[in-house]
Amino acid sequence: MKFDVSLPLVLFLITAAVLFLYTKFGEKVKSLLGGKEFTTRHTVLLVVAMGAMITVLGWTIIQIPDMAIMVLFLYAYSMMLFLFTYLVVPKWYLAVLTPALFIALYVLYRDTYLWTPYLMNLFAIIFAICISVYMGGLFSWKTTTLFVVLLTLMDIVQVLITGFMVESSKKMIALQLPVMIIVPTFPSEGYIMLGLGDIFLSGLLCIQTMQKYGKKFGLVSAGAIAIVFLLLETILINYNVGFFPATVFVISGWLTALGARYLFRSLSRL
């Protein structure tokens, strides 16, 4: 039987890093954002905007110039890198260095051997951590639940029905944009990828779980997500399933952790 431990392990380590950084900078992020949170309306609009962007990028009838896609993503990455660096080192002239370095490396070396998959993975991981820490405080438990349901439905439709998620991913990979992590499977041979949206979802869920139930259970939920991810990924590998909405894996792990906690609490009261 084939299986892979590398991707679940990477997912766990990234989520654990998100929890650690949010513990250190979460209150500062909330202060910078003025304590504002997403409402139900904001959450719905966010998922609609994500779905629309994926449709536009993945619909082959719509021919978007490669330059426009690159400018859009480079701008988004640069802003997030600047904001996160400014959060850690509140000096604007230092904060501009990280986005400047990223843009310089991408523009100058994208078509050379220096722009390696490892470097792409590094920037993808950094971006996933940055956006998770920054946006983690914008959600409440209520809006997180709504976001999870809507995002999962959107992911299922865009991957399994329309296929726009697959096409948009291929287009951005061809442009060598760090929109996902690609790691070699172990001990099985081959490679496997995971989108930044799935990593962000794992980070968001564990941040909200940590805020509601404490730091330890936040880390436990990250471990549960990784374990369930491993089990479900093993099924896909052995049945040669191609693209599949990984949000289902992430949510299954999170719900497993919550279900186990509820069951343990119920039994302890007997």
**Is residue 267, in this structure, part of any structural domain at all?**
no
128, 203 Cβ separation under 8 angstroms: yes
**Is residue 115, in this structure, part of any structural domain at all?**
yes
Amino acid at 218: G
Q: Which domain holds residue 22?
A: 6-259
18, 121 Cβ separation under 8 angstroms: no
Residue 65's pLDDT band, with cuts at 50, 70 and 90, is confident
**Is residue 269, in this structure, part of any structural domain at all?**
no
Residue 62's pLDDT band, with cuts at 50, 70 and 90, is low
* Closest by CA position to 223, among listed 22, 19, 44, 8: 8
Q: pTM higher than 0.85 for the full model?
A: yes
**Is residue 265, in this structure, part of any structural domain at all?**
no
Which two three-digit tokens encode residue 59?
């619909």
What are 166-208's pLDDT values in tens digits?
999 888 988 999 999 999 999 888 889 999 999 999 999 999 9
* Closest by CA position to 99, among listed 20, 172, 107: 107
**Structurally, how many domains does the chain consist of?**
1
**What is the predicted pLDDT for the residue at 226?**
97
Which two three-digit tokens encode residue 54?
């994926």
What are 226-252's pLDDT values in tens digits?
999 999 999 998 888 778 899 999 999
Share of the chain above pLDDT 70, in %: 99
Mean pLDDT of the region 16-31: 92
What b/e readout covers 157-168, taking b as 16+ CB neighbours within 10 angstroms?
bbbeeeebbbbb
